[in-house]
Amino acid sequence: MASPKSVYRFNSAIVREPSRSVVDGLRAGGHAGPTYEGVKAEHDGYIEAMREAGVGVTVLPPLEAFPDSIFVEDPALVFTEGAILLRPGAASRIGEAAAIAPVLRNMFDTVLDLPGHGYVDGGDVLTTPNSVMIGLSARTDRAGAEALAGLIEKLGRKAKLVATPEGVLHFKTDCSLLDEETVLSTARLASTGVFEDFKQIIIPNGEEPAANALRVNDVLMVPSDHPRTLEMLDKLDYRIVPMKTAEIGRIDAGLSCLSLRWYRDDQ
């Protein structure tokens, strides 16, 4: 059985089907948005990859009122020990936590609510073996991060506040955990020294979106449009599963934000 504090051993996940309104999802810059059909195809492939990796996936229905609600990782955090309802930092996403709350209360004995008036997006939270790193960003402010740190400690884990580089949407936009002692990171994030206690694998210049990979049990899901990163990780003997992310990338998203993942002891 996996340790309750395992950082990439999962047997349970929650995803949410994309809504037709996903084409209106938040995005930086003036680039074109995705198509619903394109997002749906990538999401279907993601669910299949999760199940093939040994994870039981609960699929929630779409929420048309919330274009970004496919990104279930932002309004909540889940651990073996319990779940935490967050307060997303974008005004259009505030109601997403309330929408997913009944599901989490049905699945977890312990569900905590973020106190105070601060904001936290789950995309700014990286769980490592020694701590849960909370990245301060445009979507996660200090008040929210400090409140979340208190809840994480209530669940028996250690929290650590860190900085997200200027202009980077989420902390995990620029990094992911490959195993208990190794992180995949962009050069700009690694240069801050935040990962000094880890072995660091640096993303090739120009392929920064590949930093948001996702380790699930024995496989490593990696965005498929970044050949140098795929080759680099393959040579390091990770079991790579290339994932199409071009459409979700148009709404500033990556692999980690598409699911809530945890190890459920009673499975």
Q: Provide CB contacts within 8 A for 161, sequence distance 6+.
A: 134, 136, 142, 145, 146, 149
Q: Which two tokens stand for residue 223?
A: 């965005």
* Residues catalogued as catalytic: 170, 257
Q: Provide CB contacts within 8 A for 49, sequence distance 6+.
A: 216, 219, 221, 241, 243
User: Three-state DSSP class for 151?
Assistant: helix
Closest among 27, 99, 38 to 65, alpha carbons compared: 99
CA distance 237 to 6: 21
CA distance 171 to 160: 13
User: Three-state DSSP class for 19?
Assistant: coil
Q: Which two tokens stand for residue 165?
A: 């580089």
User: Three-state DSSP class for 25?
Assistant: coil
Q: Kindly report the backbone phi and psi dihedral angles of residue 30, in degrees, each rounded to the nearest multiple of 5, phi listed first.
A: -105, 20
CB 112 within 8 A of CB 84: yes
Residue with the two structure tokens 């979700």:
248
CA distance 137 to 83: 22
